[in-house]
Amino acid sequence: MAGVFTFHVVSPEGNVLKEDIEFVILPGVNGELGILPNHAPLIAALDAGVIHYTINGTKTKLAISGGFAEVSDNKATVLADTAEFGEAIDVPRALAAKERAEKRLAEKSADTDIRRAEYALRRAIARINAADSKRD
């Protein structure tokens, strides 16, 4: 196959994905990272967000809750804290988690862990976005 590279996603649960793909967009902590075949070597921290990748012209989404990416030798590897394919996400549960996080952030009591609530909100939004087949 011309114009492809190996993309591997691993989470604590095991191998999530290993495919030859054409393109991937990763949610870096400082913004999105686009990776094409023959990309320069790279190591990057990833934020909670959606991975968008293309195989044979078909776009697929994968929600992650952070991790790291390494790109070298025409291979991209993501070590993700969690990883879920968009079609496997329980959208009502993700929406409920989003509402809980927004409520915690709005109340801001002395007991509220703001960083944890912000992370929960980012993760819920990533899961909702990955499940939404209309958004690319």
| Coil, helix or strand at residue 110 | coil
Give dist(CA 85, CA 131) in Å, integer. Answer: 8
Encode the chain (136 residues) as per-residue pLDDT tens digits. 459 999 999 999 999 999 999 999 999 999 999 999 999 999 999 999 999 999 998 999 999 999 999 999 999 999 999 999 988 899 999 999 999 999 988 887 777 788 888 889 999 999 999 998 655 5
Position 111 scores a pLDDT of 75
CATH number for the 90-131 domain, one of 3.80.10.10, 1.20.5.440, 3.40.50.1390, 3.40.50.300? 1.20.5.440
The answer to whether the 5-86 and 90-131 domains have the same CATH topology is no
Residue spans per domain, the chain:
5-86, 90-131
Position 2 scores a pLDDT of 58
Give dist(CA 121, CA 71) in Å, integer. Answer: 28
What is the fold, at CATH topology level, of the domain defined by 5-86? Answer: ATP Synthase; domain 1 (2.60.15)
* Chain centre to alpha carbon of residue 51: 4
Task: Give the global pTM.
Answer: 0.86
Position 1 scores a pLDDT of 46
Beta strands in the chain (DSSP E): 5-11, 14-21, 23-28, 31-35, 42-55, 58-72, 75-80, 83-85
Give dist(CA 81, CA 51) in Å, integer. Answer: 13
Position 69 scores a pLDDT of 97
